[in-house]
Structure 1
């Protein structure tokens, strides 16, 4: 039986390991204590009341019980005149479908307009392409300002300026989209390979020509992918800002909630979920095809 004696080097290594482990544990414990203190402070500032939460949670279930349709198996597939049927539940499906189409159109127009402007600004907001520090800082801060203000605030402003309707919603979503996509686009551009840029510039190409022929072909698949993803987000956003009169299905949802038309609430929500899911699936497939074709992972 052999006996292994610890050398001084091994002992020093073991001591250093134990010391580092104690330091990590101390740092982890300190971070957990600070996090817990921040959570408690946030709850106190936000006036979180657990008694109110406990009393309100059952009411959520009660509300879902009210909006659930009164479907009956015997009349489930009857016409729209028969209570308890699916057709009776979706008796205004044609009108709601048109409003959902308007919502999707709002999101599409806002995404297209926002992405176009964001693309232009992103070249100025990219550190590797900016002409100078002033243009870079101005473009960056402008994009931050545009995406900081919530879409619904923009919608309220435009409803006051242009009146109730889809135009206010399109402008509100478009402005927020400029700020959001501008940041994403500029980050993609900053990771672009610059050798083609240097080649275009060395051969006498202008700054705009280098952006067009050296950078844009490289980053186009990622830009399209981000744009499609933003379209999915904007469809959901367009459904919400209608609450303030900015057009689309949101106005109808607000009306039925205000008048307590419970079964209509659930019918519209189901249609919105189905439409958004279909758009998400279609957009996801398009994004995967684009990225796969371009070899982007």
Structure 2
């Protein structure tokens, strides 16, 4: 079906074109101003942080040489013997790695449960009381404000060395991080089921159980799995301050210059993280209904 395009007279087009040019000029000025502010802030950050490009480039060869030094010499004719010598303490390292995984798992589970409870109280569409909402949000902010290693140091001082400080540190930080993500998911749910349940006599808990949780559960599990990946790496670092796991063995090998042990432990950690990332990605895709699995 043919359509005709009306062309306005030049007298009417002129003011419209001028208004468009003026709007674009304002937009360009804002863009240029924003880029200028970004450049100034970047320059000030570089100056305050004492970023030295010359030092960076001069240090790169030493950085590369460190990885060259920690890698063992593997020869084709004695490959099996060299590998056995490289991973001489594989059973012990795997046991420590298992401790790290348990610390990450228990900490993630406890933190996810706490975040699950607090996220509904922190959501503006479910909690009308500003006092309860502010308390829940500030609690979540406190949990994610400090890095896990800060909490771990405090708990090591209180409870001594071992897995417990690592579990507590990861749980608190996970609760703050997941609680924030969970609350944002909850604030985007369809409120019609909640209003229908409330109108039929359901209480606050029942409205959440049957009106909200079915809408957000898959996203909650997906975020929790992603957080578990992060916490595995975090639990390794917590071992540096005595929170148990393979991190303690890694920092000990670094301090004693056991280069071959350092590289072997790093290979084990990297392989474990890759495997966990692959498995959790497949689970997330299955939960979200994405066909084809991990890519």
TM-score, structure 1 normalization = 0.91
1:109 aligned to 2:112? Answer: no
| Map of 1:141 onto structure 2 | 138
Quick one: structure 1 residues 16 and 274, their matched pair in 2 at CA, closer, same or farther if it must change by over 3 Å? same
SS of the equivalent of 1:38 reads: helix
Residue aligning to 1:185: 182
Other-structure match for 1:237: 234
* Partner residue, 2:74: 71
Q: How does 1:1-297 map to 2 (within 5 A)?
A: 7-78=10-81, 85-292=82-289
How big is the shift at 1:55?
Answer: 2.3
Unaligned runs of 5+ in 2: 1-6, 291-295
Q: Deviations over 1:87-120 (max 9, x none)?
A: 1111111111111111111111111111111111
Cα-Cα RMSD:
1.7
Distance 2:185 2:8 in 1: 57
Distance in 2 of aligned mates of 1:212 and 1:52: 57
- Hey, what's the Cα distance between the residues in 2 that align with 1:158 and 1:172? 8
- For each residue in 1:62-110, what CA deviation from the matched residue of structure 2 results, as whole angstroms up to 9, or x when unmatched? 21111121111111123xxxxxx11111111111111111111111111
134-143 vs 5-14, which moves further? 5-14
Query: Secondary structure of 2:80's match?
Result: coil
Q: Distance in 2 between matches of 1:112 and 1:130?
A: 25
Could you tell me how far apart the structure 2 residues matched to 1:22 and 1:73 are?
67
Q: Name the stretch that deviates more: 274-283 or 14-23.
A: 14-23
How far apart, in 2, do the equivalents of 1:100 and 1:282 lie? 17
Flag structure 1 segments of 5+ consecutive residues without an equivalent. 79-84
- Provide the rounded CA distance (Å) in 2 between the counterparts of 1:265 and 1:18: 62
User: Does structure 2 retain, via aligned residues, the 8 Å contact 1:151–1:173?
Assistant: yes
CA distance in 1, matches of 2:264, 2:8: 77
State the TM-score, normalizing by the size of structure 2: 0.92
C-alpha distance in 2, partners of 1:186/1:76? 53
Q: How many residues align?
A: 284
- Partner SS, residue 77 of structure 1: helix
Measured in 1, the distance between the counterparts of 2:192 and 2:39 equals 49
Moved over 4 A (4+): none
Instruction: Compute the displacement of 1:5 (Å).
Output: 12
Please tell me whether the aligned partners of residues 124 and 131 of structure 1 are also in contact (alpha carbons under 8 angstroms): no
